[in-house]
Amino acid sequence: MTQDLIITTENRIGGISLNRPKAIHALNLAMCEGIIEALQGWAENDAIEAVIIDHSEGRGFCAGGDIRMLAESGAKDGIEAQQFFHTEYRLNHLLFTYAKPVVAFMDGITMGGGVGISQPAQYRVATENTRFAMPETGIGLFPDVGGGWYLPRLEGRVGHFLALTGARLDGAECLALGLATHYLPSEALDEAKARIAEHPGRISGILGDLSATAPEARIMGNIDKINRYFASDIYEEILAALEASDDDWAVKERDTLGTKSPQTCKVALRQLKEGAEMPDFASQMVQEYAIGSRVVQRHDFIEGVRALIIEKDNSPQWDPATPEGVTDELLDSIFAPLPEDEKWTPLTT
């Protein structure tokens, strides 16, 4: 088992603590494999009634996946990146279909891959430290790990807004939107975990008892604007709506979109549109794996990681440079199903 995970059993609870604090607990392949192994073992163990997922020390629950590795792989043959995506998405699907209750404590930064392992959980606990986002458009990736399933099912066009802008939500906003099921002060988390370990059949009551009144959720005051300006599934129409407004909020969001990869923004809009109609989560994973297998080798992802993560000049040179340059033919090539022997498949046990 990797040292980047702390796997425990206490009473009737299986515990998974992400333990990679210097990387804000970003997931790597060994971590995904280790979590899968633990979950599969507990699924067949009648002594384990529920699972807790949290993190060890540090300021984040999980900042995402191993982006640097993905970019290095994408610049070569992409095989290592595909292996990571295939395993990570199997983990996401396993959690989504897991028969026993899972409690995810989203205390701190919860982004990308962290969203993928918290959103499938039956209980999702936010705190005053929670910072939730799907920021992939800023590095030329796309909101994967099930983003195409979760985001279009949020209120109105909020999911599309989050996918395009990478906006960060606090814990109160997560609760208001249903991304979190409970809001607890961080100082109550240890008590919550201890009480759940003693009474795994009373998780809902324990979290409800320890919940605090969340502050005002700022995003709810902008729902009408989000629904109006982000109404279209055509990216150019969203930009035109924002550009036609002199509202300060619209100007700010238009400026934000100006920093994002046009390719990725169009991929995200199509992903969410099709994701809203997916028959099940496994079908979503099949599509996202096909998208990921291609996007990870395209210029924008490699360039985005260079500009924002490696060299940090924050000046990515996107190609195509404009939304108009991202043609339907290009999108079709990214979304095309993989050959049968290369497609993503769920775990069989």
Q: What is the pLDDT along the chain (349 residues), one digit of tens a residue?
A: 689 999 999 899 999 999 999 999 999 999 999 999 999 999 999 999 999 999 998 889 999 988 888 889 988 998 999 999 999 999 999 999 999 999 999 999 999 999 999 999 999 999 999 999 999 999 999 999 999 999 999 999 999 999 999 999 999 999 999 999 999 999 999 999 999 999 999 999 999 999 999 999 999 999 999 999 999 999 999 999 999 999 999 999 999 999 999 999 999 999 999 999 999 999 999 999 999 999 999 999 999 999 998 999 999 999 999 999 999 999 999 999 999 999 999 998 6
Indicate the length of the chain as a whole number: 349
Q: Which amino acid is at 316?
A: P
CB 233 within 8 A of CB 265: no
Quick check: bond before 320 cis, omega within 30? Answer: yes
Distance (Å, whole) CA 297 – CA 233: 25
CB 166 within 8 A of CB 134: yes
- Scored b (16 or more CB within 10 A) or e, 177-198 reads bebbbbbbebebbeebbebbbe
Two tokens, residue 95: 């959690």
233 is an active site residue: no
Domain ranges of the chain: 5-342
Q: What is the pLDDT of residue 66?
A: 85
Two tokens, residue 229: 């300006």
Q: What is the pLDDT of residue 58?
A: 80
Q: How many CB atoms lie within 10 A of CB 74?
A: 25
136 is an active site residue: yes
**Rounded to the nearest 5°, which phi and psi values hold at 23?**
-110, 20
Q: Which amino acid is at 135?
A: P
Distance (Å, whole) CA 297 – CA 177: 34
- Scored b (16 or more CB within 10 A) or e, 288-310 reads bbbbbbbbbbbbbbbbbbbbbee
Question: Per the residue annotation, which of 14, 60, 112, 113 is the catalytic one?
Answer: 113
Q: Which amino acid is at 93?
A: H
CATH superfamily of 5-342: 2-enoyl-CoA Hydratase; Chain A, domain 1 (3.90.226.10)
Q: What is the pLDDT of residue 349?
A: 62
Q: How many CA atoms lie within 13 A of 341 on its CB side?
A: 0
Q: How many CB atoms lie within 10 A of CB 275?
A: 24
Question: Per the residue annotation, which of 4, 54, 66, 144 is the catalytic one?
Answer: 144
User: What is residue 255's DSSP assignment?
Assistant: H
Q: What is the pLDDT of residue 2?
A: 85
CB 197 within 8 A of CB 11: yes
CB 288 within 8 A of CB 144: yes
Question: Per the residue annotation, which of 65, 74, 108, 275 is the catalytic one?
Answer: 65
Please choose, from the candidates 26, 29, 24, 31, the residue with its C-alpha nearest in 3D space to the C-alpha of residue 5.
Answer: 31
Question: Per the residue annotation, which of 136, 170, 288, 300 is the catalytic one?
Answer: 136
144 is an active site residue: yes
